[in-house]
């Protein structure tokens, strides 16, 4: 039979092909690497962390089933970037595991948030604290509580506005969590206790310890046997989480030095290994802990440790501010770093320098006063709402190089006065002491 025009004989093609089965790749196991997630880079260069399949599965089933209680068809609203741990490893995994739908917005918008949530009938949402504060700073509307949100999970929800936010937007459950991109030592505040990030012991399982850390020498405090000392309720220290088969630390890709710097051995006994979080916690009764600050963000002034988060929380309560970013700057002929705040007023608002100065002096201890004030038109943060401080610290309070409005806290006049060139020179020469 003659082959029709335009048609070739399949057998001729098959004759030149191998008869063996194609090579089969090695099966994927739960301990294989799924993805690389980069750290935020707010305190150093971003590093690629290894995330395993079983980490992702744990996050999906744990958050989706145990916390979100998702059912097929539930809608999750996500306005965090998918290159961020909360977006890809909590929001997306939870949605996928339970057959839900994700309403994904390219970029967070405070004014469009509730409209989106209502439009897509979203039941769940992963937050970061700054995002919630932006929403809470919006003018109150009578229908704020008329939305379908039921359960939200995230980190950074500060205790000072937790209950107000929850009541205003009629949210049934808020679950504050703590975790790192590296995926070691996560905590959850299941009880919804404002200001807490969880407990160090849950259901009989020890999740980590808060240990004493000497800020002066930048070293851990050890006992006579050479092991670390655990904090007591009311004390602050460094959070350590145990490295084990259940909570592995795979380290950073192509960066053995950074990986080793995060591992501490012989902590409470010979041979044990713990992950150094770099985060300062305060231990409370009942094994509850609250977040104080990142070690790289704190600074010392007048011999006292200043936690930037705590100072920012106080200043934010002054009102009319979209954001407050606190950090320490160098002043010639002084020890440590002096407090400075970069504030962004809400749209249409201006800074009441006299009122803010009086408020700061009444609500903060002297060593924590931000003596320098910089007014920003934009918020200095990453796409995942983490504060960016390095550039601000480097620029300091120099009016010769900074175009933003700058002010200095004149404690005698109880007012923030304009930072002029002559005032700057007088401060740097030691003519003004504070």
Of 296, 315, 331, the domain-final residue = 296
How far apart are alpha carbons 332 and 256 in whole angstroms? 37
Same domain, 267 and 338: no
| Sign of the torsion formed by the C-alpha atoms of 155, 140, 113 and 342 | negative
Say if 186 falls within a structural domain: no
Q: Tokens for 181, please give them.
A: 């991109």
Same domain, 171 and 263: no
DSSP codes of every residue in 28-73: P-TTSEEEEEE---SSSS--EEEEEHHHHHHHHHIIIIIIS---TT
Same domain, 325 and 282: no
Same domain, 43 and 153: yes
Same domain, 79 and 218: no
For residue 42, the model assigns a pLDDT of 54
* Reported pTM: 0.76
- For residue 128, give Cα distances in angstroms to 55, 87, 88, 101, 387: 21, 11, 14, 21, 12
Q: Tokens 């205003």: give the residue.
A: 168
Same domain, 292 and 304: no
Secondary structure element (H or E) that encloses residue 362, with its range: helix 353-363
Same domain, 280 and 309: no
Q: Tokens 């890709």: give the residue.
A: 253
Is residue 101 within 8 Å of 74, Cβ to Cβ? yes
For residue 211, the model assigns a pLDDT of 96
Same domain, 213 and 174: no
Say if 12 falls within a structural domain: no
Secondary structure element (H or E) that encloses residue 375, with its range: strand 370-375
Same domain, 135 and 208: no
Same domain, 161 and 237: no
For residue 334, the model assigns a pLDDT of 84
Same domain, 344 and 382: yes
* CATH code at position 327: 3.30.300.30
* CATH code at position 210: 2.30.38.10
For residue 234, the model assigns a pLDDT of 94
Same domain, 327 and 255: no
For residue 311, the model assigns a pLDDT of 93
- Supply the range of the domain harboring residue 215: 199-296
Give the number of other Cβ atoms within 10 Å of residue 113's Cβ. Answer: 21
Say if 184 falls within a structural domain: no
How many structural domains comprise the chain? 3
Say if 187 falls within a structural domain: no
Q: What is the pLDDT along the chain (434 residues), one digit of tens a residue?
A: 677 788 888 888 888 888 888 888 889 998 898 998 887 655 556 788 888 898 888 889 988 888 899 999 999 999 998 888 889 999 999 999 999 999 999 989 999 999 999 999 999 999 988 889 889 888 899 999 999 999 999 988 888 889 999 999 999 999 999 987 766 778 999 899 999 999 998 877 888 999 999 877 888 999 999 999 999 999 999 999 988 877 778 778 877 777 888 899 999 999 999 999 888 999 999 999 999 888 878 888 887 889 898 899 899 989 888 889 999 999 988 888 899 999 999 888 888 989 999 999 999 999 999 999 999 998 888 777 777 888 898 899 999 999 999 999 999 899 999 999 999 999 998 888 88
CA angle 230, 233, 239 (to 5 degrees): 45
């Amino acid at each position: 039979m003659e082959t029709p025009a335009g048609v070739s004989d399949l057998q001729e093609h098959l004759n030149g092909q191998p008869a063996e089965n194609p090579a089969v790749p090695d099966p994927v196991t739960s301990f294989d690497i799924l993805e690389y997630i980069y750290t935020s880079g707010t305190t150093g260069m971003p590093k690629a962390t290894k995330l395993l399949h079983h980490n992702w599965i744990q996050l999906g089933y744990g958050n989706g089933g145990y916390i979100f209680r998702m059912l097929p068809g539930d809608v999750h609203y996500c306005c965090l970037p998918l290159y961020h741990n909360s977006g890809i490893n909590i929001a997306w995994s939870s949605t996928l595991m339970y057959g839900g739908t994700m309403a994904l917005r390219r970029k967070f918008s405070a004014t469009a948030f509730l409209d989106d949530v209502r439009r897509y009938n979203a039941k769940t949402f992963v937050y970061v604290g700054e995002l919630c504060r932006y929403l809470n700073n919006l003018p109150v509307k009578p229908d704020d509580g008329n939305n379908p949100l039921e359960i939200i999970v995230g980190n950074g929800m500060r205790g000072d506005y937790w209950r107000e936010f929850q009541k205003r937007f009629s949210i049934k459950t808020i679950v504050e969590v703590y975790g790192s991109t590296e995926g070691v030592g996560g905590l959850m505040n299941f009880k919804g206790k404002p200001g807490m990030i969880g407990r160090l012991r849950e259901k009989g399982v020890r999740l980590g310890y808060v240990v004493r850390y000497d800020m002066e020498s930048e070293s851990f405090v050890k006992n006579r046997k050479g092991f670390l000392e655990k904090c007591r309720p009311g004390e602050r220290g460094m959070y350590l989480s145990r490295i084990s088969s259940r909570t592995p630390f795979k380290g950073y890709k192509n960066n053995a030095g950074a990986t080793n710097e995060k591992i501490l051995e012989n902590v409470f006994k010979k041979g044990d290994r713990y992950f150094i979080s770099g985060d300062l916690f305060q231990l409370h009764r009942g094994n509850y802990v609250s977040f104080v600050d990142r070690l790289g963000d704190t600074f010392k002034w007048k011999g006292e440790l200043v936690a930037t988060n705590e100072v920012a929380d106080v200043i934010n309560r002054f009102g009319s501010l979209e954001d407050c970013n606190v950090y320490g700057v160098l002043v010639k002929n002084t020890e440590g770093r002096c407090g400075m705040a970069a504030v962004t007023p809400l749209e249409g608002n201006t800074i009441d320098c006299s009122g803010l100065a009086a408020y700061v002096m009444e609500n903060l201890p002297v060593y924590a006063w931000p003596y320098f004030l910089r007014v920003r038109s934009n918020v200095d943060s990453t796409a995942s709402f983490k504060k960016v401080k390095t550039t601000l610290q480097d620029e300091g309070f120099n009016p010769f190089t900074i175009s933003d409005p700058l002010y200095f806290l004149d404690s005698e006049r109880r007012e923030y006065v304009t930072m002029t060139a002559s005032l700057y020179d007088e401060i740097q020469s030691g003519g003004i002491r504070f």
